């Protein structure tokens, strides 16, 4: 299309990139709804346990009391524990593990991808072979081995998830670095006296962020699923409740009291869906081709 530029632009229009992205994000209704849902889940995880004062480990009533009866909103499980309490406490653990694992894999991925994309040559060869090695590992088995070796604590589970899921970030970061390092403004910064570290961290990385942020958002969702999977297999900290653990422990009774499994299942589904919709919204908002300039 023909490009027409306006000379006298009002200076008030000097919005920063963040304001611009926010403006684009709110244009996607699904993403906004998902963000609201996600915020409600986060608020419930933060304040819920304090307001809903029932211990999720305590046997409060007879087992298998259906939802809504006997005063328990979501019923009780096979040991007579309150499922609502389990959901609220479990939300903390699931979200915390999801965020921490995603953060960890983003940090590993960015470091490896940035070094590979910036230095190229043998550094890239070595780092990308290393990345490929992690890519071809059967992730679930590998993390099960880690948990089995180092014990089923929250930290170990988080690390086990983070260690197996950074490869996508590394590849995206490398691709962005390869593209951006050739742009003239990077050369201009070098001509202005910037060193390698500054070029990587302060010049290229901020411009490489958009796709990484999107990938990170999606990764929170998959980390929650991963944790649920490990819990389901019994490979999680027995001293904390998580959504996956509720499903896993009620698994034998799925035919008798399906709600004990479906309710935490729906919680996982809604959360992961909300996260990926937010991720999609971010993707659209951060994509400069869709942004009007």
Partner 1 sequence: MATQTILEVRDLTVELATRDGISPVIDGLSFEVGAGETLALVGESGCGKSMTALAVMGLVPHPIGRIAGGEIRFGSEDLVAVGEDRLRDIRGNDISMIFQEPMTSLNPVYSVGEQIAEVLRRHQGLNHKQARQHAVELLHAVGIPDAAARVSTYPHQMSGGQRQRVMIAMALACKPKILIADEPTTALDVTVQAQIFDLLRVLQRETGTAIVLITHDMGAVCELAERMMVMYAGRKVEEGTVDDVIANPRHPYTQGLISCVPHVTDDPSAERAPLVEISGIVPALRDFGADQCLFAARCRQVVARCAAERPVSNDFGSGHRVACWQAEVAS
Partner 2 sequence: MSDQPAANLLTVKDLKVRFPLKSSSIFAPKRYLYAVDGVSFSVTQGQALAIVGESGSGKTTTALAIARLIKAYAGQVQLQELDLLDLAGDDLRQARRRFQFIFQDPYSSLNPRLRAADIVAEPLAAMAADAKQAIVDELFQAVGLRPEQQRLFPHQFSGGQRQRLGIARAMAPKPQLIICDEPVSALDVAVQAQVLNLLRELQRQRGLTYLFISHDLGVVQHMCDQIAVMYLGQIVEFADRISLFKNPLHPYTRALLSAVPRVDPAMRGKSQRILLQGDPPDPANPPSGCRFVARCPVAEARCHSQPPALRRLASGQQVACHLVSDDAVSPLG
Residues that bind partner 2 (CB under 8 A): 5-7, 9, 11, 13-14, 16-17, 183-185, 187-195, 203, 206-207, 293
CB of 186: closest distance to partner 1 in angstroms?
A: 24
Which parts of 11-70 interact with partner 1 (CB under 8 A)? none
Q: What does the alpha-carbon distance between residue 132 and residue 122 come to, in Å, rounded to a whole number?
A: 15
Residue 3 vs 129, nearer CB to partner 1: 3
What SS3 state is found at 8? coil
CB of 177: closest distance to partner 2 in angstroms?
A: 15
Q: What does the alpha-carbon distance between residue 252 and residue 249 come to, in Å, rounded to a whole number?
A: 8
Q: Using the rule CB under 8 A, is 7 a contact of partner 1?
A: yes
Q: What does the alpha-carbon distance between residue 267 and residue 88 come to, in Å, rounded to a whole number?
A: 10
CB of 7: closest distance to partner 1 in angstroms?
A: 5
Q: Using the rule CB under 8 A, is 182 a contact of partner 1?
A: no
Size of the site for partner 1 (CB under 8 A): 8
Q: What does the alpha-carbon distance between residue 210 and residue 190 come to, in Å, rounded to a whole number?
A: 23
CA 232 to chain centre: 19
| Residue 193 contact among partner 2, partner 1, none, beta carbon within 5 to 8 Å by kind | partner 2
Q: What does the alpha-carbon distance between residue 88 and residue 80 come to, in Å, rounded to a whole number?
A: 17
Residues 6+ apart with CB under 8 A from 132: 167
Do 165 and 205 touch, CB atoms closer than 8 A?
Answer: no
| Residue 293 contact among partner 1, partner 2, none, beta carbon within 5 to 8 Å by kind | partner 2
Q: Using the rule CB under 8 A, is 2 a contact of partner 1?
A: yes
| Residue 194 contact among partner 1, partner 2, none, beta carbon within 5 to 8 Å by kind | partner 2
Residue 7 vs 182, nearer CB to partner 1: 7
Do 104 and 97 touch, CB atoms closer than 8 A?
Answer: no
Burial class (CB in 10 A: 0-12, 13-18, 19+), 9: exposed
Q: What does the alpha-carbon distance between residue 236 and residue 64 come to, in Å, rounded to a whole number?
A: 24
Taking the chain, what is the end-to-end CA distance rounded to the nearest angstrom? 13
CB of 12: closest distance to partner 1 in angstroms?
A: 17
CB of 112: closest distance to partner 2 in angstroms?
A: 23
| Residue 252 contact among partner 1, partner 2, none, beta carbon within 5 to 8 Å by kind | none
| Residue 188 contact among partner 1, partner 2, none, beta carbon within 5 to 8 Å by kind | partner 2
Tell me the β-bridge partners of 59: 81
CA contacts within 13 A on the Cβ side of 79: 10
Do 215 and 206 touch, CB atoms closer than 8 A?
Answer: no
| Residue 187 contact among partner 1, partner 2, none, beta carbon within 5 to 8 Å by kind | partner 2
CB of 24: closest distance to partner 1 in angstroms?
A: 13
Which parts of 264-293 interact with partner 1 (CB under 8 A)? 292
CA contacts within 13 A on the Cβ side of 281: 22
| Residue 2 contact among partner 1, partner 2, none, beta carbon within 5 to 8 Å by kind | partner 1
Q: Using the rule CB under 8 A, is 5 a contact of partner 1?
A: yes
Residue 71 vs 193, nearer CB to partner 2: 193
> Which residue ranges make up the site for partner 1 (CB under 8 A)?
1-7, 292
């Amino acid at each position: 299309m023909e490009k027409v530029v306006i000379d006298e632009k009002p200076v008030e229009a000097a919005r920063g990139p963040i304001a611009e992205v926010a403006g684009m994000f709110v244009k996607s209704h699904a993403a906004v709804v998902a963000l609201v849902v996600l915020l409600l889940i986060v608020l419930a995880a933060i304040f819920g346990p304090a307001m809903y004062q029932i211990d999720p480990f305590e046997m409060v009533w007879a087992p298998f009391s259906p939802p809504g009866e006997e005063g328990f909103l979501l019923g009780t499980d096979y040991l007579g524990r309150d499922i609502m309490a389990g959901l609220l406490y479990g939300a903390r653990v699931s979200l915390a593990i999801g965020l921490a694992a995603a953060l960890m894999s983003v940090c590993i991925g960015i470091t490896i991808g940035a070094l590979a994309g910036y230095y190229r040559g043998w550094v890239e060869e070595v780092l990308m072979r290393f990345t490929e090695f992690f890519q071809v590992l059967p992730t679930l088995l590998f993390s099960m081995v880690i948990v089995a070796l180092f014990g089923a604590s929250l930290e170990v589970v988080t690390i086990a998830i983070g260690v197996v899921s950074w490869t996508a970030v590394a590849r995206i970061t490398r691709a962005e670095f390869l593209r951006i390092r050739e742009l003239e403004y990077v050369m201009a910064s070098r001509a202005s006296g910037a060193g390698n570290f500054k070029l990587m961290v302060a010049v290229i990385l901020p411009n490489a962020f958009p796709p990484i942020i999107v990938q990170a958002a999606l990764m929170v969702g998959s980390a929650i699923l991963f944790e649920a999977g490990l819990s389901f297999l019994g490979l999680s900290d027995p001293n904390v409740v998580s959504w996956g653990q509720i499903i896993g422990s009620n698994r034998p009774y799925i035919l008798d009291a399906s709600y004990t499994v479906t309710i935490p299942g729906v919680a996982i589904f809604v959360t992961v869906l909300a996260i990926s919709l937010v991720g999609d919204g971010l993707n659209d908002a951060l994509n400069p081709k869709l942004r009007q300039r």
